[in-house]
Amino acid sequence: MPELPEVETVARGLATQLVGRRIQSALLRRDGLRYPFPTGFAEGLVSREVKRITRRAKYILVALEGEKTWITHLGMSGKLLYYQGKIESVDKHEHVRLTLDNGAILAYIDPRRFGAMDLANTADLQAHRWLSRLGPEPLEVGADAVWPGISASSTPIKQRIMDAEVVVGVGNIYASEALFRAGIHPLSPSSSLTEKQWSILFSAIQDVLKEAIISGGSTLRDYVRSSGDVGYFQHRFRVYGRDSKACGQCSTPIAKLTQAGRSSFYCPSCQPKIS
């Protein structure tokens, strides 16, 4: 389940594998993923050289020659796998396959098809419908840049830090982990945090994301890097998926609650409820 660290890891891997390569062919095995592929998608990729690969929020941006950018979101189970040499059998969930000018293959595999792809003009990228409303990157700004969005809403803080219009890249796992580190209950109204508390929480978000990137992300079920390697940060989870297990700080059993349809994990003792 790719969040910022997983997408960053995939983008970095792809950059070493693809930059300077030319796409020779593009095979689409279906009409689209979460959304239909754009008209002329395959033709727009073919024969272009990959110039650079970056990440914005959870989107992978592949800048191609000819001022086009291939945008990919991995959704929840999407994988971009780079292969040197032949693949004997094709995964039944492989939906897109590119061949490169060095004979390598880049395959997009996504069992749930929550992923998405588009091809946009690089010059118009900021105005793209997927990107135009995104908030700041958590590793590129300070807490003060996000503070207005935190103080202005009474929505529970966990939902607030997962809102991509407030700050991008924080999904369910890292939201729970950061709140634990900051000692803040996930149901606390966003506007109830003091600026000092927000500063502590924002630092925790940054720390968790940075540590996860160093670990190559978290592999639960589906996530792997473009090389096929797994990530290791899941071994460092302090609350996520640890309900009823002892808190590492105080031994109180980790609790689980459903918030906006998603599981939140927290320590009732280290993250006291706001009264």
Give the C-alpha separation, 28 to 26, whole Å. Answer: 7
Instruction: Kindly state whether residue 235 participates in binding DNA, applying the rule CB under 7 A.
Output: no
Residue closer to DNA, measured from CB, 1 or 105: 1
Q: CB 273 → DNA: shortest distance, Å?
A: 16
Q: Please tell me which residue in 48, 55, 56, 58 is annotated as part of the active site.
A: 58
Instruction: Kindly state whether residue 51 participates in binding DNA, applying the rule CB under 7 A.
Output: no
Instruction: Clarify whether 58 is annotated catalytic.
Output: yes
Contacting range for DNA; rule: CB under 7 A; set: 16-24, 74-82, 201-209, 227-235: 74-82
Contacts of 45 (CB under 8 A, 6+ apart): 23, 26, 64, 70, 98, 119
Q: In terms of Cα–Cα distance, which of 206, 229, 204 is closest to 217? A: 229
Instruction: Kindly state whether residue 86 participates in binding DNA, applying the rule CB under 7 A.
Output: no
Please tell me whether residue 8 adopts helix, strand or coil conformation. helix
Q: Would you say 168 and 58 are in contact if contact means Cβ atoms under 8 Å apart?
A: yes
Instruction: Clarify whether 2 is annotated catalytic.
Output: yes
In this chain, which of 155, 192, 197, 206 binds DNA, going by CB under 7 A?
155
CA 72 to the chain's CA centroid: 11
Instruction: Kindly state whether residue 230 participates in binding DNA, applying the rule CB under 7 A.
Output: no
Give the C-alpha separation, 235 to 194, whole Å. Answer: 32
> What residue ranges bind DNA (CB under 7 A)?
1-3, 34, 57-59, 73, 75-77, 92-93, 111-114, 129-130, 153-156, 159, 162, 164, 171-173, 221, 260-263
Active site members: 2-3, 58, 262
